Amino acid sequence: MSKNKIKQFIQTAIKNRKEFYEDKSTTSFRVFNNSGDGQDGLTIDFFDGFYLITWYKYEMYQLKNEISSILKTAPYYKGLYQKKRFDTKAMYLDDQDDFIDGTKAPEPLIVKENDVNFAIYLDDGAMVGVFLDQREVRKTIRDKYANGKTMLNTFSYTGAFSVFASLGGALKTTSVDLANRSLAKTQEQFKINDIDVQKQDIIVQDVFGYFKYAVKNKITYDLVVVDPPSFARSKKMTFSVAKDYTKLLKEVIQITNKGGIIVASTNYAKLGMGRFRDFIATAFKELNGKYEIKETFSLPADFKVDKNFREGDYLKVVFIKKL
C-alpha cells in the first residue's frame, strides 16, 4: 500500500461522511470502514473530535505515522487514539496507553447519537462503550416500538438499547449481561440521559440462566432485544451463533408476549440474511408459533461495504412480531 494511495482513500472517506460531520444530533460515527473505503485492515471512528484507529493488519500499522498525520488535518480534530487487533485472531493487544496525539479525551467522553448521550472511554481496553453499527436499530426502537412497553435487553453490554427504549417511553427496561462491569456502565448511561436508574432493572447474570428464571416465574416482555456475541463461553456452556441461535430464539419467544416484538440481531459475518431468516422460521415452527417480520436492518451508511466482499456486510437485524 503506497502512502499516496492510503492518503487518497482516507481523504475520500472523509468527504463521503460530510453529512455525518454536519449532523449536530450525532457526534459519533465511522469515518473509514476497511475494504468498503478501499483498504482492508483499518477502521477509523469519530467521537466528537477524537479519532480512533483500529489496526487489523500489521502492514497497515506500519503506516501509523503517515495515517496519523493525515488525520491531524481531518475535520474537528482534537486527538487521536488507537486499538491494535492485528494478532491472528483479531484480539485486542493491550497497550498501557492507546493515546497517540493531540489532547487527551475526558473520561468519560460524552458523545451524541440521535440526541442521546453515550459515555465513551477511548483508553479503557478493547471496547469503548458503544457499538456504532447499531445506530439505526436503536433509533427505530426508540421512535417506533418502545412506547408503553416492557423491554428486555439481553447481552446488554452498557445498556444502549435500554437507554433508547426508555427515552422512547418504555414502561420499564431490564438489562441482562454476564459481565460484572455491565452494572456500573449501564447505570452511567442512564444517568447521563437523566433517566431514573432506580426504575430500571440491571441484572448481572448469564443470559441463559435468566431465561430459565423468567420462564419459571412467568415473566414476559413486550419487547426483547437479543444481540449475542458470535461466540461466548461461560462456566456452564459454550454458545455459537452458527449452532445455537435457533435454540436461543426459542427461549426468547417463550418470554415474549403475544403481539410483542423480538429484535433478533447477529454480527456473525459467515451467516447470510437468508440463513438467519431460516433460524427464525425454524424456532417458531418448533414452538408451533406464528410470526411476522416487520423490518430488517444491515450496516448503516457510514459502514461502507465492499460489494465484492460479502462478509464485510456482517450485521443482520430482524424486527419480528410474535402473533
Ordered structural domains, the chain, with CATH: 3-120 (3.30.750.80), 132-322 (3.40.50.150)
If one counts every other C-beta atom within 10 angstroms of the C-beta of residue 18, the result is 10
Q: What is the pLDDT of residue 100?
A: 95
3-class SS of residue 298: coil
Q: What is the pLDDT of residue 183?
A: 97
- Nearest Cα to Cα of residue 150 among 286, 231, 34, 255: 255
What is the phi/psi pair of residue 294, to 5°?
A: -85, -45
Q: What is the pLDDT of residue 235?
A: 67
| pLDDT tens, residue by residue, 245-294 | 999 999 999 999 999 999 999 999 999 999 999 999 999 999 999 999 99
Query: Is residue 303 within 8 Å of 16, Cβ to Cβ?
Result: no
Instruction: Please name the residues in contact with 300: beta carbons below 8 A apart, sequence gap of 6 or more.
Output: 133, 135, 136
Query: Is residue 27 within 8 Å of 112, Cβ to Cβ?
Result: yes
Query: Is residue 81 within 8 Å of 122, Cβ to Cβ?
Result: yes
E strands, 160-229, are: 172-177, 201-204, 221-226
User: pLDDT under 50 in the chain at which residues?
Assistant: none
Instruction: Please name the residues in contact with 77: beta carbons below 8 A apart, sequence gap of 6 or more.
Output: 49, 51, 71, 102
Query: Is residue 316 within 8 Å of 266, Cβ to Cβ?
Result: yes
